[in-house]
Amino acid sequence: MFLSNKVLNLSESQHHKKKLIEQIINKEKGIDLYIAKLKKAKLSKVSNSRMGTGADVQCYEGGIAIFIFSNIDFSLVQRCWASFAAAECLCCLAAVACKLLTCCRVLTADCRGGVVPCHLLLLAPGCCCCLVEDWWSISDGNDHNTNQGGGETFSTIGFKSWNKKSGLDKHIGLPNSIHNQSKKKCQDLLQQRRSIQFAFERQSNQLKHRYYMRLSASVDVVRLLISRGFAFRGHDESKSSLSRGNFLEILSWYAKRCDKIRDYILEHAPVNDQMTSPMIQKDIVSACKIETVKAILEELNGDYFALLVDESFDVSHKEQMAIIFRYIDRMGFVMERLIDIVHVKATSASSLKETIFNLLAQHSLSPSSVRGQCYDGASNMQGEINGLKMLIRRESKSAHSIHCFAHQLQLTLVGVSKKCVEVGKLVVLISNIFNVLGSSFKRMDNLRDSQKSTIQVALDMGELTTGSGLNQQLGLSRACDTRWGSHYKSFNNFIIMFGSILEVLESLALDARSMDERAKAMGHLEACQTFEIAFMLHLMRDVLAITNELNKCLQKKEQDIANAMLLVEVAKRRLQVLRDDEWDSLIAKVSTFCIKHNILIPNFEEPYVSSLRSRRKLANYTILHHYRVEVFCNIIDWQLQELNDRFDEVTTDLLHGIACLNPIKSFSSFDIRKIMRMAELYPDDFDESNMNILENQLASYIVDVRDVDERFFDLNGLCDLSKRLVQTKKHSNYPLVFRLVKLALLLPVATASVERAFSAMKFIKNDLRSQMSDDFFSGCLVPYLEKDVFDKISNDVIIKTFQDMKPRRIQL
């Protein structure tokens, strides 16, 4: 049966369809209504609007096709129409309908109650296979489904009696029922091999083999370029070019050294089917990303996860938002994986939320599965009323938010530098010297030569030892308020290179061409050769050495929040020990440094004279009191105060409960009451009946792991506990306890994984590749960053995905 010029023409006799569509719209407010018009065997997007209650469905002259789906891929829809609808065959059009359903991730295989997802029930509360069959009947005037169990319920009205699920089995019926026939037709029409186009263009096995070899070679080269982060294209890819771009050059090198593929690719391939075009390269990259994300989602296994989100500008000044999932895999390991990096045109909390939710819907994930959030301190993220964290909390009450610990730690130093004038002066001085020396290549060369000679003298005198990785050349490092650990590196390098810096500044003060440069160099040289700068350098290096160790620990992917809280407490105690007991050792180090570099050491018993006062007016305290009390003690006190203020989450019931789950010191912190209060903060996971079961499981669990099973005696944190529970299979004995452990591990500590994604972004999308499209950039970045997942994916899997993306010349 062939159609003439109308497909599902609502203007004649299908007003019940319009009514059904309006009912669905009323049930699911905000659903996307896509109205598409069939014209010359192509589908063009006529309108895409957010429809609410009472929305009207417009009809177009000549007939229309109406589809109501979420996040439909219109490029794939258009390719479906172009491939299948050319003959205007009714079966082919039904195949298009099946393809559309597949694009929207709607189940087309079965309608059993345990299989149909909830969003399908809101979208089309009937059986998809029979709905397609009903579309056939609408077109030819017959009713194919009235004799099937349930009549029009599963094709027009929609199944509503979910308290009587036996109706689903009745509708499915015997193997030869109409439903099963419709199911078979859907499955057949979803396969490209059963299409009319494929039937007309059957290829020989030899032709398929040659095509497979060409495609495999291209996939091999793409995988290499992705894994190394290399560019694909060249400026001139003509045959006469000496540099045709990495893809073609590596493929040519591959052909020369591999006899297996030499006779199948490049000049030995058909001109119109070489599998080397830019579009083919991009499609293979997309297939690599699709399979990488698919493998990550299979590892997630539909479990709970936490969101780590941040945004940053790329080299083309586009705002890119990286989205990381933190979850627990089947073996109990904590994983943090990049799911996607998305270009966002607006950074308001509502825009970011919509982008994140669209991504979740694209991968058939629900916002209700989010059990943790971690962001930096930006107001659009951390806003208490309309910030991103609160918008997500409204969708999932158990999505608790943690301010990135590493970001807070960096803010403690910024806070101290704003309170202490001496720290501010030191930071400004180092920055100015960096500007003076770093503005000239010649000066930097002089600095490196001076450093090299200084190291050689120290080696000759036995002050330094040789070894692998020792005595490496250092460079001046600019401190940045937003770059974690940058201040410690800046101060430490400045101390190590102090002699070389003085030598270059002195040379510049004598030999610089302009008087301004001489004056700046002389001023910096005099500032460096003071006891105050020497003292502040060593003091800030010692203080930041403590917080720098904490910073490195917080950036580990497997770090859990209970251990992070302990690390913060350790840092506080070390700072207190530095304040109480290490003044004398600090003064000894500073004195040795001053003697080595000919810096005058003041008499600590003399009255202190401030640079802001007249030298005739002496202070009523000594130099020793100034440096020890007003500088040394105050800086450490301010640092401790900032740590206490920034990490105030440690006082919450949630983190107290997590600390009680920590297995360190044979579960010494275990407290059932605090753990139960923590469980109350997850109402979606622990209802009233579960709370009673949880209390009994906790009582048995602590006796088992603390007193009976010796395999739990040497654990160092919640990560070890999670892995050991899975290894010993106790996660099945105490499922609710294991759920609590997973929820504790899901709370992120820092957004270090997001920062790693941005670092990779700068490597992938650099100045020479600034014109990359967003899809191609994302396709390169995700497999590059998740190499361990990408390497496990076989070429055949990528080729299958590549084949299914659009109609190909040859079907394997």
Highest mean pLDDT among 330-344, 421-435, 608-622: 330-344
Higher pLDDT, 17 or 541: 541
What are the residue boundaries of the structural domains of the chain, listed by start?
Answer: 15-199, 203-276, 285-404+751-805, 409-646, 652-746
Distances (CA, A) of 674 to 652, 691, 695, 748: 11, 13, 11, 20
Which amino acid belongs to residue 380?
A: N
Which of 104-118, 319-333, 472-486, 629-643 is predicted least confidently? 104-118
Query: How many whole angstroms separate alpha carbon 726 and alpha carbon 740?
Result: 14
Closest CA to 231 of 214, 207, 247: 247
Give percent of the chain with pLDDT exceeding 70. 70
Looking at 529-560, list the stretches that DSSP marks H as alpha helix, in order from N- to C-terminal side.
531-554
Quick one: which H or E segment has residue 596?
helix 583-596
Tokens of 636: 């450490």
State the average pLDDT for the chain: 74
Give every CB contact of residue 16 below 8 A, 6+ residues apart in sequence: 156
Give percent of the chain with pLDDT exceeding 90. 18
Which DSSP symbol is given to 608?
P
Whether residue 372 has pLDDT greater than 90: no
Highest mean pLDDT among 363-372, 451-460, 484-493, 786-795: 786-795
Give the pLDDT confidence score for residue 215 in this predicted structure. 92
Q: How confident is the model at residue 266 (pLDDT cuts 50, 70, 90)?
A: confident
CATH assignment of 285-404+751-805, among 1.20.1250, 3.30.420, 3.30.70, 1.10.10: 3.30.420
Q: How confident is the model at residue 591 (pLDDT cuts 50, 70, 90)?
A: very high
Higher pLDDT, 113 or 610: 610
Three-state DSSP class for 39?
Answer: strand
Give the pLDDT confidence score for residue 192 in this predicted structure. 57
Cβ pair 309, 322 in contact under 8 A: yes
Q: How confident is the model at residue 325 (pLDDT cuts 50, 70, 90)?
A: very high
Burial (CB < 10 A; 0-12, 13-18, 19+), residue 236, is exposed
Give the pLDDT confidence score for residue 341 in this predicted structure. 93
Q: Concatenated DSSP letters for 466-532?
A: --TT-S---------TTSTTHHHHHHHHHHHTHHHHHHHHHHHHHH-SSHHHHHHHHHHHHHHTSHH
Give the pLDDT confidence score for residue 157 in this predicted structure. 55
Give the pLDDT confidence score for residue 283 in this predicted structure. 94
Whether residue 686 has pLDDT greater than 70: yes
Whether residue 40 has pLDDT greater than 80: no
Q: How confident is the model at residue 297 (pLDDT cuts 50, 70, 90)?
A: very high
Which of 131-145, 289-303, 340-354, 426-440 is predicted least confidently? 131-145
Highest mean pLDDT among 113-117, 399-403, 601-605, 648-652: 601-605
Q: How confident is the model at residue 465 (pLDDT cuts 50, 70, 90)?
A: low
Which of 261-265, 514-518, 612-616, 687-691 is predicted least confidently? 612-616
Query: How many whole angstroms separate alpha carbon 280 and alpha carbon 276?
Result: 6
User: Average pLDDT for residues 510-521, to the nearest whole number?
Assistant: 81
- End-to-end Cα spacing for the chain: 30
Buried b / exposed e along 408-428 (16+ C-beta atoms within 10 A)? bbbbbbebbbeebebbeebbe
Locus of tokens 């395999």:
711
Query: How many whole angstroms separate alpha carbon 120 and alpha carbon 365?
Result: 13
Give the pLDDT confidence score for residue 59 in this predicted structure. 30
Give every CB contact of residue 423 below 8 A, 6+ residues apart in sequence: 416, 417, 536, 540, 635
Give the pLDDT confidence score for residue 800 in this predicted structure. 92
Query: How many whole angstroms separate alpha carbon 812 and alpha carbon 810?
Result: 6
Higher pLDDT, 241 or 30: 241
Query: How many whole angstroms separate alpha carbon 751 and alpha carbon 60?
Result: 50
Query: How many whole angstroms separate alpha carbon 96 and alpha carbon 488?
Result: 61
Tokens of 787: 């190499």
Give the pLDDT confidence score for residue 32 in this predicted structure. 35
The model's pLDDT over 123-157, given as tens digits with 9 standing for 90+, comes to 333 455 555 555 444 444 444 444 555 555 555 55
Whether residue 795 has pLDDT greater than 50: yes
The model's pLDDT over 606-658, given as tens digits with 9 standing for 90+, comes to 887 777 655 445 567 788 988 898 889 988 888 888 777 767 654 477 878 88
Q: How confident is the model at residue 62 (pLDDT cuts 50, 70, 90)?
A: very low
Largest interatomic CA distance in the chain: 110
Give every CB contact of residue 441 below 8 A, 6+ residues apart in sequence: none
User: Average pLDDT for residues 345-370, to the nearest whole number?
Assistant: 89
Higher pLDDT, 5 or 752: 752
Tokens of 613: 């006062």
Query: How many whole angstroms separate alpha carbon 752 and alpha carbon 748?
Result: 10
pTM for this prediction: 0.69
Give the pLDDT confidence score for residue 48 in this predicted structure. 34
Cβ pair 78, 42 in contact under 8 A: yes
Give the pLDDT confidence score for residue 794 in this predicted structure. 93
Q: How confident is the model at residue 7 (pLDDT cuts 50, 70, 90)?
A: very low
